[in-house]
Amino acid sequence: MTYFLQNVVNALQWGSFYALIALGYSMVYSILMLFNFAHGDIFMVGAYIGFGVATLLVALSAGGAVVLPGWLILVLTLLISMFLTALLGMLVERVGYRPLRDAPRASAAITGLMIGIILETGNLWLVGARRVSFPSLIPTATYDLGGVILTNKKIMIVLVALAFMLALHFFVRRSKWGMAMRAMAVDYVVVPLMGVSINAVARLTFAIGSALAAVAGILFSIAYPVLDPYMGIVFGWKAFVAAILGGRGSIMGAALAGFLLGFIEIFVAMAFPSTLRDLIAYSIIMIILVFRPHGFFGEPYSTKLRL
Amino acid sequence: MRAISPITPPAGKRPLRCRIFDPFRETPLLAWLFGAGLAVLLEHLLGESFAALVGLAKVPVLFGLMIILSKPLLFPGALLYVAVIYLLPLVTVALLLARPANTAAAALLRLGPAVSVLFHLALFYAVLHFWAEISGYREMTVKFTLIAVLLTLSLNLINGYMGEFSCSHPGFMALGAYGASIFSLSLFVNDPLFGKALLPAFLGPWLFPLGLVGGGLLAALGALLIAIPSFKTRGDYLAIISLAFLFIVKSLLENLPFVGGPRGMGSQPDYASLPVVFAWTAMGVWIMNNYVRSTLGRSLNAIRDDEAAAEAMSVNTRHTKMTAFMFAAFWAGVAGGLFAHMMRFINPATFGVQRLAEMLAMVYFGGLNSVYGSIVGAVSLNLLGEVLRPLELFKWIFIPLLLILVMIFRPTGLLAFRDFDAVRLVQPRSRDRQGGAP
């Protein structure tokens, strides 16, 4: 039982990375009907920006210029890298996606893939091929709840992730910008005629998605403090699966699917040899999609004539 | 057919542009092939000494481009080499032979289009063979490129002609590669995984096509896993299903100890020689080209444009989709089998998302819905990848940037929506062919 609960905790942590990244995919996908295949690499860049900012702040702090406590450094790192990564996201949108808004959707997917490769290579060029380790900003505290081991980092990761998801949810549901995004998701041909700027909405979507990817990147590097330039690939593709599994137009669906993917992966690894993880996890996803072809919360659609 | 009588209008009256370009336009493929043949022959005879003369250490392997990028100071020598050894004989011979070659091409066509096409193909192969013979590296590049053509074209069937976004192609390739490898490793080689050879080794190259076809059929069988869900769903969800298929295949191969698990399989016999790869690629292009021009292939386009309308027009959508998926997977499997016997080592990591990105790039670069485009995309990206090697890391910034530019300015790729008509390619090119002259 404790073993089971322990895995629930691990799955929550693992799932929150997928969920945060899947949110970015899902927003772009719902609003612009594009696969932003560069998103996994934006996650990677976010982690690296976080690494850079954190290292800089730690060095400043150690130099004695301004002495900052570890938690403040963490908060500052989070905010600064969210901002910078959002800028990167907007740049990606401007360069790679806006010229292709009327092109076939697959072409935009290719652009995304290529931007991803450029980001990886650029990072490799700037930082080098060696893996870097994220500075440890807060000391790890361990709590033992009847055999279930919790660390303050795990709790923080899950809580921060959930907080950002809730914030996004309220933003999309309650604010005027959120309303514009939802309207755009319904019809991006007519809504611009109503005076909503599609460029502004697209830019905002990419900015928010990239900021969330940066959050995921920093949380990930707190949990697993070794970064390498190719870490975004596998995460990106898996979060992409989660986003589609959640269903088009459903942001919370993407988050839920992200957690589900985390749970499936952790529990498959618990019950079977861990090498079978991908095999079983994707077989489950394939079966889900065969029976619910439009994802969990997406609107059903059919290509057949319904007479 | 009327005999070809090349006439030249009085030269002074035409604009300069026509006077320069018309001779080229009137030169048939046959003459170009002869020119290329002479260039290659010249390289065999004089290549080394001429390279030494212009200050190059050895014969430039890929038209001197690699030398220019890695040692810019050798630039004039490399340029001179290409001009004297390749361009000069090619252009001179092609232009000189234009008239007799036009007559010959017409005569060949009179014997039958198949004869003419086969003759051209044989000539092309001879040129390619002699060119590749100069160095092992060239041969390797040519083989890679030919296999990439097969892969790109078969992916284009689904992503271009049928309009789905399939991500499963490396999975099909893996199935074919493993199928063909198991065939040849278990039958003709004493292998630690499969025990003693069951058949004498000299039969190997002769039975190798069976192994390739077997691998292709295995891949086609795997394609059913995607084809059946595709009846119910399209677009994005099918993309995910195919991506899941890719992950499943890769993970399955990693977990099967009898095919070597994550370490993979090595020491396949060296059956994929250049003629074998060339023959399979030529056959694949021919069959796939016929496929997309058949009723079955046209109905793929109908399904892409409007499935409901296609069904109303009596297209059997299920049958069409299933055939297309299995057919494309078959050729991806054949390409995988060739790849395995060329590399002589495969492991599951070879067939991951990176290869997927590579294949998608070739398809969309070359052009959707286009046989020409697939050939151009595969050849150009492969050669570009080799030529830019001296740039090291920046190669992976240059190529993606190029692709982004192509996508922005030509969203469907360089040569989209072009059929391949072999007969038109080999016919004589004289201007009076259309009539008008006595």
What is the pLDDT, as a whole number, of residue A127?
Answer: 86
CA separation for the pair B307, B298 (Å, rounded): 13
**Percent of chain B scoring above 90 in pLDDT:** 42
Length of chain A: 307
- What does DSSP assign to residue A133? E
By CA distance, what is B225's nearest residue in A?
A: A286
Ordered structural domains, chain A, with CATH: 2-136+146-291 (1.10.3470)
Q: Is the dihedral of CA A79, A81, A86, A91 positive or negative?
A: positive
State the smallest CA–CA distance between residue A276 and chain B in angstroms.
7
State the smallest CA–CA distance between residue B161 and chain A in angstroms.
13
Give the residue-averaged pLDDT of A162-173. Answer: 92
Nearest to A122 among B225, B244, B397 (CB): B397
- φ, ψ dihedrals at B368, nearest 5°: -75, 155
Q: What angle do CA B240, B338, B171 make, to 5 degrees?
A: 15
A304 touches chain B (CB under 8 A): yes
Q: Quick one: which of A106, A33, A112 has its CA closest to B412?
A: A106
Structure token pair of residue A258: 């992200």
A92 touches chain B (CB under 8 A): no
Q: Say whether pLDDT at B18 is over 80.
A: no
Give the residue-averaged pLDDT of A36-46. Answer: 93
What is the pLDDT, as a whole number, of residue A258?
Answer: 93
Q: Is the dihedral of CA B384, B386, B392, B393 positive or negative?
A: positive
What is the pLDDT, as a whole number, of residue B195?
Answer: 78
Q: Say whether pLDDT at A301 is over 70.
A: no
Mutate to test the interface with B, among A28, A95, A114, A307 (most CBs of B within 10 A): A114
Structure token pair of residue B69: 């990028």
What is the pLDDT, as a whole number, of residue A167?
Answer: 93
Tell me the pLDDT tens digit for each residue of B237-291.
788 889 899 999 999 999 888 888 888 888 888 888 999 999 999 999 999 999 9
On chain A, the residues whose CB falls within 8 A of the CB of B373 are none
Structure token pair of residue A181: 């995004």
Give me chain B's average pLDDT, please: 87
* Residue with token string 């595969």: B378
Give the residue-averaged pLDDT of A158-168. Answer: 94
Q: Is the dihedral of CA B42, B46, B48, B52 positive or negative?
A: negative
Nearest to B308 among A96, A294, A303 (CB): A303
What is the pLDDT, as a whole number, of residue B306?
Answer: 87
Tell me the pLDDT tens digit for each residue of B136-145.
899 999 999 9
Tell me the pLDDT tens digit for each residue of A67-120.
778 888 899 999 999 999 999 999 999 988 998 888 888 888 889 989 999 999
On chain A, the residues whose CB falls within 8 A of the CB of B244 are 241, 282-283, 285-286, 289
Amino acid at A142: T
Tell me the pLDDT tens digit for each residue of B288-320.
999 999 999 899 999 988 888 998 988 998 999
CA separation for the pair A134, B214 (Å, rounded): 50
CA separation for the pair A121, B395 (Å, rounded): 9
On chain B, the residues whose CB falls within 8 A of the CB of A105 are 165
Ordered structural domains, chain B, with CATH: 14-111 (no CATH), 136-423 (1.10.3470)
State the DSSP H helix or E strand holding residue A258, giving kind and residue range, or none if neither: helix A251-271
The pTM (predicted TM-score) of the whole model is 0.88
Answer yes or no: are the C-beta atoms of A232 and A120 closer than 8 Å.
Answer: yes
Percent of residues in chain B assigned helix, strand, coil, to nearest 5: 75, 0, 20
Q: Say whether pLDDT at A54 is over 60.
A: yes
Cβ-proximal residues to A79 (8 Å cutoff; 6+ apart), any chain: none
Q: Say whether pLDDT at A128 is over 70.
A: yes
On chain A, the residues whose CB falls within 8 A of the CB of B159 are 106
Structure token pair of residue A73: 């450094």
Collapsed DSSP state (helix, strand, coil) of residue B410: coil
State the smallest CA–CA distance between residue A275 and chain B in angstroms.
7
Would strands A142-145 and B345-346 be described as parallel, antiparallel, or unpaired?
Answer: unpaired
Q: Say whether pLDDT at B426 is over 80.
A: yes
Collapsed DSSP state (helix, strand, coil) of residue A140: coil
What is the pLDDT, as a whole number, of residue B77?
Answer: 84
- Confidence at B1, pLDDT banded by 50, 70, 90: very low
**Across the strands, what pairs with B345?**
B266
Q: Say whether pLDDT at B233 is over 90.
A: no
**Across the strands, what pairs with B346?**
B265
CB within 8 Å: B354 and A233: yes
Q: Quick one: which of A48, A61, A26, A9 has its CA closest to A181?
A: A26
CA separation for the pair A262, A241 (Å, rounded): 12
CB within 8 Å: A276 and B357: no
CA dist list (Å): B281 to A125, B119, B143, B368: 38, 16, 10, 19
What is the pLDDT, as a whole number, of residue A18?
Answer: 94
CA separation for the pair B246, A23 (Å, rounded): 23
Amino acid at B215: G
Cβ-proximal residues to B160 (8 Å cutoff; 6+ apart), any chain: B363, B367, B368, B369, B370, B373, B416
Q: Is the dihedral of CA A120, A122, A125, A126 positive or negative?
A: negative
Specify whether the backbone of B8 is left (phi greater than 0), alpha (psi in -120 to 50) or beta. beta
- Confidence at B437, pLDDT banded by 50, 70, 90: very low
- What does DSSP assign to residue B191? B
Nearest to A290 among B229, B311, B397 (CB): B229
Structure token pair of residue B244: 């899941």
The complex's ipTM works out to 0.85
State the DSSP H helix or E strand holding residue B409, giving kind and residue range, or none if neither: helix B395-409
What is the pLDDT, as a whole number, of residue A292?
Answer: 80
Q: Quick one: which of A198, A269, A241 has its CA closest to A25?
A: A241
Q: Is the dihedral of CA A238, A240, A241, A243 positive or negative?
A: positive
What is the pLDDT, as a whole number, of residue A285?
Answer: 86
Specify whether the backbone of A36 is left (phi greater than 0), alpha (psi in -120 to 50) or beta. beta
What is the pLDDT, as a whole number, of residue A216?
Answer: 95
CB within 8 Å: A275 and B255: yes
Give the residue-averaged pLDDT of B46-73. Answer: 81
Beta-carbon contacts below 8 Å between A and B: 140
CA separation for the pair B56, B67 (Å, rounded): 9
A41 touches chain B (CB under 8 A): no
Collapsed DSSP state (helix, strand, coil) of residue B117: helix
Give the residue-averaged pLDDT of B183-192. Answer: 86
State the smallest CA–CA distance between residue A5 and chain B in angstroms.
27
CA dist list (Å): A39 to A182, A200, B33, B418: 21, 19, 47, 33
CA dist list (Å): A189 to A5, A32, A90, A172, A248: 48, 11, 21, 20, 17
- Confidence at B5, pLDDT banded by 50, 70, 90: low
Answer yes or no: are the C-beta atoms of A181 and A201 closer than 8 Å.
Answer: yes
Give the residue-averaged pLDDT of B127-142. Answer: 91
Structure token pair of residue B398: 């240059």
CA separation for the pair B215, B332 (Å, rounded): 9
Q: Is the dihedral of CA A66, A68, A72, A77 positive or negative?
A: positive
- Confidence at B434, pLDDT banded by 50, 70, 90: very low
What is the pLDDT, as a whole number, of residue A300?
Answer: 59
What is the pLDDT, as a whole number, of residue A106?
Answer: 82
Cβ of B391: how many Cβ atoms within 10 Å? 15
What is the pLDDT, as a whole number, of residue B4?
Answer: 53
CB within 8 Å: A111 and B404: yes
What is the pLDDT, as a whole number, of residue B7?
Answer: 55
- φ, ψ dihedrals at A133, nearest 5°: -110, 135
Tell me the pLDDT tens digit for each residue of B193-228.
787 878 888 888 889 999 999 999 999 999 998 888
CB within 8 Å: B248 and A286: yes
A181 touches chain B (CB under 8 A): no
E-state strands within chain A: 132-133, 142-145, 148-151, 226-227
CA separation for the pair A234, A220 (Å, rounded): 14
CA dist list (Å): B389 to B67, B145, B222, B398: 10, 16, 35, 11
